[in-house]
Structure 1
């Protein structure tokens, strides 16, 4: 299969409005791919090379980009092998050798192929917007039920590997996928809830209400003395959090997989700013100690608990890490649930979670068995551009262009602008950081590759013909940037539109 075939499908999917048509196009490409091409092809369409992050930035690629080839000649195998080669280059002289390898690859590519490869290598395609489409396309192409494919993707953490197994060996191969201690799985996410009273009425009396901490999501795996800790995006941070590793090694078990959050506290026991917690993920150094708060147990000493009801998983969690469990109350009355929510706010946390005690663990937002309730409307949006400021903000990148994720695989959809909430510290950070993500600029604006996620507080959403999604944010203001999230974690245009109807937002 040619690289050009993949690009043609990617372009067709991006320009096709209907989800069914997108799924059909991707499914046809998967059917056409050879056994060794399935994994890279599916990964590329969702922005994930088989080799993982290549670790090459825009400036390196720009310096290595030669004149494009006149005719297409690159195959999927050629590109996959070249990407593997790039990940193996290290040691003395590696910078020059990496540049030579890039020149060789890009020199064999046409202009369209160069653009695609640059976006793939730098992670611009890694929006996750196409993941749902690709998952359903795997099911269609392989004639395997969607539920089986989705579960296999959760357990493997690898869309391409799941596609290859489905196409070669079918449903039996996917049903054989098991949770493996030490191999991260994709996390279950909560849907937005309107209020604690509404959540209690929706889920019924058999629920647990937990504090929703202003921390960072972590997944912990322990096999004997071997401990692995990853973020919500499955990035390995084990070496940066030795205090968490030590704590997990001391738990009374041999094998365990835990889901939870971690954060730093001040001397009074209140959460420190989110950015201070995130700063520890890049370095083991620093005086701040992270504290874990676990809310789920997915495996304990040889027993998989994914398909067990949450109530049993909580019992396992209490048995192995009860003293580190997130503050929670089981089967509260509506009044008790509201009091627990208010206690979380008073303690400096974001809000509360309401979860059905009979819910099983499923990656992503599947149904409404987990609900998150916050006192204010917030959205996680993608920064599309920033305008140069004027007056007191002259010389700083200021007014942000904000986009919501297209759930059907298109580029983010602009829903508004704001400069409110930007402190001098954030203005300085933006002005330094945004040019590293620049894709274009004019006299007034720097346009960015859609990679940076910002949390926005707003009063609501109104119908508007000004923006392509038909809606615009009302009184939007910046709360904070979310380095723990990628564009794949941003809220969708559907979540924004729900606010117009008076429904909740996601965060």
Structure 2
């Protein structure tokens, strides 16, 4: 398959808001792909190449000064081979080798193809081709039941392999994909509610559990062999030896556990999220010890439990993990759920998750059986700039640069504001059109990718919290920021301060 076909399809998918139109375009593409190319096609569409980490970043890519091809000649297979070479480059001279591979790839790609590849390699391809849409496209292209395709993807944890099986295998091959110890599955996800009481109205009798400000882990054990995986199914076993030893000591030969981990401070309280995540990225450092909390079990000693109700799974979880189980209660009492939420927040955690006790484990799905509840904070911040969008947002000013006021002058630039993060979340088409028309009226200067503004517009931003960040002068960054709306009734002098944001940092 020519790369140009993939790029053209991605452009069509990104240009429409119709889910059915996206599915039709992707199904047509997949039906024309060579069987050997299907995993690579899926990886590029998801901006998650099948090779995993490629060892390249924006700095190395932006340093290239290469003339692109005038006409398309690259195939998906050739791109996949180049990504293989990037992923396997290591040791002395690897930086130069990667630069050479990228340069060759850039020179053989047209400008449009290179733009697509850069965004795919950096995980910034926003076409609306999310996993749910792609699963429906696989089912359409293969003429297989959507439920069977979805379950195979959940239990294999690999959309590319699921697509290959669906499109090239026999009728029973998809049904044969099952839970397997040592092969991570997509994690079950949670919806949201404003309060524990509201969550209970959705779930009925439920297990109300602490929601930690940590990192999701899935742990597989077969005898003495233990594997630890992240939310995205990356293998981090070698980075978390303390978790491996804990799981080896549990009273089971084969087990699959779902849970969360974080590092604790000297008083037993949770350390900031980024300190936990630093351990996930560290190959050698063991200064911070990670403590696991398990909240579900999918398999124990030959018995699959994902189709069992949570009440059955919790009984097995208690038997297997004991004190390593996450704090929680089973209740249908709203007052009890509210109290547990207050206890979780007082202990420094994010809130609670409310889980219906009669629900099975829906791997990879975000339904109403699990509902997370955590406080949402809002701040009035100043827009310092906006980046031009891509995909469906091409031609619109999209990703906002957000600044807090600094009356002390300790962190701010000459205008008195300090950047604290970026977001494109929550922007409707109406807001995108308004921004694109309005922002040039406030422009101070621009680059090819960004329009910088005078600090004159105030926007209300919802966040899940803040975290320490060496990236920004104020030492703090927003977590999961999204736009609630512009505050034309407020002046920049009324924006929240960097000191207010910094006061939210633990310790």
Contact 1:53–1:121 (CA<8 Å) still a contact in 2?
no
For 1:249 and 1:191, locate their aligned partners in 2 and report how far apart those are by CA, in whole Å: 33
Structure 2: segments with no counterpart, 5+ residues: 380-386, 388-397, 436-456, 490-494, 503-507
1:48 maps to 2:90: no
Corresponding residue for residue 306 of structure 1: 306
CA deviation map 1:168-191 (0-9, x unaligned):
125522211112222221111110
The range that moved more, 219-228 or 384-393, is: 384-393
Tell me if structure 1 keeps the 8 A contact 2:419–2:474.
Answer: no
Secondary structure (helix, strand or coil) at the match of 1:151 reads helix
Could you tell me how far 1:286 is from its partner in structure 2?
4.4
Partner of 1:217: 216
Bigger Cα displacement from structure 2, 56-65 vs 349-358: 56-65
1:107 and 1:370 map into 2 onto residues whose CA distance is 48
Following superposition of structure 1 onto structure 2, how do residues 239-250 of structure 1 map, counting pairs within 5 Å?
239-250=238-249
Contact 2:460–2:485 under 8 Å retained in 1: no
Equivalent residues of 1:387, 1:400 under 8 A apart: yes
Q: Give the C-alpha shift of residue 288 in structure 1.
A: 3.0
Correspondence list, 1:87-236, <5 A: 87-125=87-125, 130-169=130-169, 171-205=171-205, 207-236=206-235
Q: Partners of 2:458 and 2:75 in 1: how far apart?
A: 41
How do 1:36-435 residues align onto structure 2 when only pairs under 5 Å count?
36-125=36-125, 130-169=130-169, 171-205=171-205, 207-283=206-282, 284-376=284-376, 384-386=399-401, 392=409, 393-394=412-413, 398=419, 400-404=421-425, 417=459, 428-430=470-472
* Deviation of 1:420 (Å): 11
Residue aligned with 1:11, SS = helix
8 Å contact 1:142–1:170 — kept in the other structure? Answer: no
Contact 2:45/2:120 (CA < 8 Å) preserved in 1? Answer: no
Matches of 1:231 and 1:464 in 2, distance apart?
39
Distance, in Å, in 1 between the alignment partners of 2:358 and 2:458 is 39
Deviation of 1:77 after TM superposition, in Å, equals: 1.7
Q: Greater shift after overlay, 32-41 or 397-406?
A: 397-406
Deviation at 1:475? 8.0
Give the aligned CA root-mean-square deviation in angstroms: 3.8
Q: 1:249 to 1:107 in 2, by over 3 A?
A: same
Q: Is the 8 A contact 2:46 2:120 kept in 1?
A: no
* Alpha-carbon distance in 2 for matches of 1:13, 1:428: 37
CA distance in 2, matches of 1:399, 1:327: 33
CA distance in 2, matches of 1:46, 1:246: 34
Change (3 A) 1:263 1:100: closer
User: In 1, are the aligned partners of 2:351 and 2:373 still within 8 Å (CA)?
Assistant: yes
Contact 1:211 1:327 in 2 (8 A): yes
The two structures have a TM-score, normalised by structure 1, of: 0.78
Structure-1 separation of matches of 2:103 and 2:80: 15
Aligned-pair distance for 1:277? 2.2
Distance in 1 of aligned mates of 2:423 and 2:60: 28
1:454 aligns with 2:492: no
What is the CA–CA distance in structure 1 between the aligned matches of 2:17 and 2:38, rounded to whole Å?
A: 25
Contact kept? 2:262, 2:291, Cα under 8 Å: yes
Distance 1:405 1:27, change over 3 A: farther
Aligned residues: 448
C-alpha change, 1:427 and 1:312, in structure 2 (3 Å) is: closer
Q: 1:178 & 1:115 partners in 2: Cα distance?
A: 38
- Does the 8 A contact of 1:270 with 1:348 survive in 2? yes
Is contact 2:296-2:313 (8 Å) kept? yes
Cα distance, 1:417 vs structure 2: 4.5
Deviations 1:103-160 (A, max 9, x none): 2222211111121222222222278852221111111111212222222222222211
TM-aligned CA deviation for residue 269 of structure 1? 2.8
Is this contact kept in 2: 1:457–1:476, CA < 8 A? Answer: no
Deviates more, 1:251-260 or 1:88-97: 88-97
Cα offset for 1:367?
2.2
Q: Is the 8 A contact 1:193 1:372 kept in 2?
A: yes
Counterpart Cα distance in 2 of 1:187 and 1:104 = 38
1:360, CA displacement in angstroms?
A: 1.2
Question: Could you tell me whether the CA contact under 8 Å between 1:456 and 1:476 is conserved in 2?
Answer: no
- Deviates most, 209-218 or 292-301: 209-218
How far apart, CA to CA, are the structure 1 residues paired with 2:402 and 2:336?
Answer: 47
- Would you say the 8 A contact 1:397–1:427 is kept in 2? no
On the 8 A contact 2:218/2:259 being kept in 1, the answer is: yes
What SS class does the counterpart of residue 217 from structure 1 fall into? Answer: strand
- Answer whether contact 2:197 2:334 (CA < 8 A) is retained: yes
User: What is the deviation of 1:401?
Assistant: 4.2
- Which residue number corresponds to residue 470 of structure 1? none
Q: Deviations over 1:327-382 (max 9, x none)?
A: 12123433322222222222222211111111111234432011112244589xx9
